[in-house]
Amino acid sequence: MENKNLIEKMTLLAKEKQKELKAIWDITEEQAKNCTEDQLAQFMILLEKRQEHIDRISVIDKAFNESSNILKKNLQIQYLNQINQETYPLAGNLLRMIEEIDNMASRIKSLDDENKKRMDILLEDIKGKLKKIGEGKAANKLYQNGYSGSGGTFFDTKR
């Protein structure tokens, strides 16, 4: 494949990745709104949708890396930013898109980290509530079943 065509293909793949990252950003923002005990089910649905986009990005990344490796080999360079932009003017656009992708990925990670902190706090709260429920059930069971001893009377012999 010609180098110009490789750059065009990589640019198209970068655009696709930007669209997927935008969808992930929107979902991550929505998750931030659903980090409550009442909306835990909605949070999980959003998590599944987000995973679908992440899977698509993996496919895009694989195709991008394959093209990138061929291009770097053809041009005998190690990094994409070493492409001569006078010879390949489309490379400048590709490099800008890669930078935008990196920035968007960083923003997503930052928001996702905040969501994880909120979820950790929520899960700890739920664990505490479940522990109290378990203790309440155990105490209730003891009271309902009564004393299972011999039915005798106890005398306090200590004075």
Span 70-108, pLDDT tens digits? 999 999 999 999 999 999 999 999 999 999 999 999 999
Residue 123 covered by a domain: yes
149 inside domain: no
Residue 152: inside a domain: no
Helix axes 40-75, 3-33, angle to 10 degrees: 160
pLDDT higher than 60, residue 14: yes
pTM, two decimals, is 0.75
- State the Cα–Cα distance between residues 63 and 117, nearest whole angstrom: 34
Read off the pLDDT of residues 30-73 as tens digits, 9 standing for 90 and up.
888 877 767 778 888 888 999 999 999 999 999 999 999 999 99
Domain that holds residue 54: 3-144
How many domains does the chain fold into? Answer: 1
Q: Tell me, yes or no, whether 150 lies in a domain.
A: no
Residue 153: per-residue pLDDT: 61
Query: Residue 64 and residue 79: Cα distance in Å, rounded?
Result: 14
134 in any annotated domain: yes
Identify whether the C-beta of residue 64 lies closer than 8 Å to the C-beta of residue 58: no
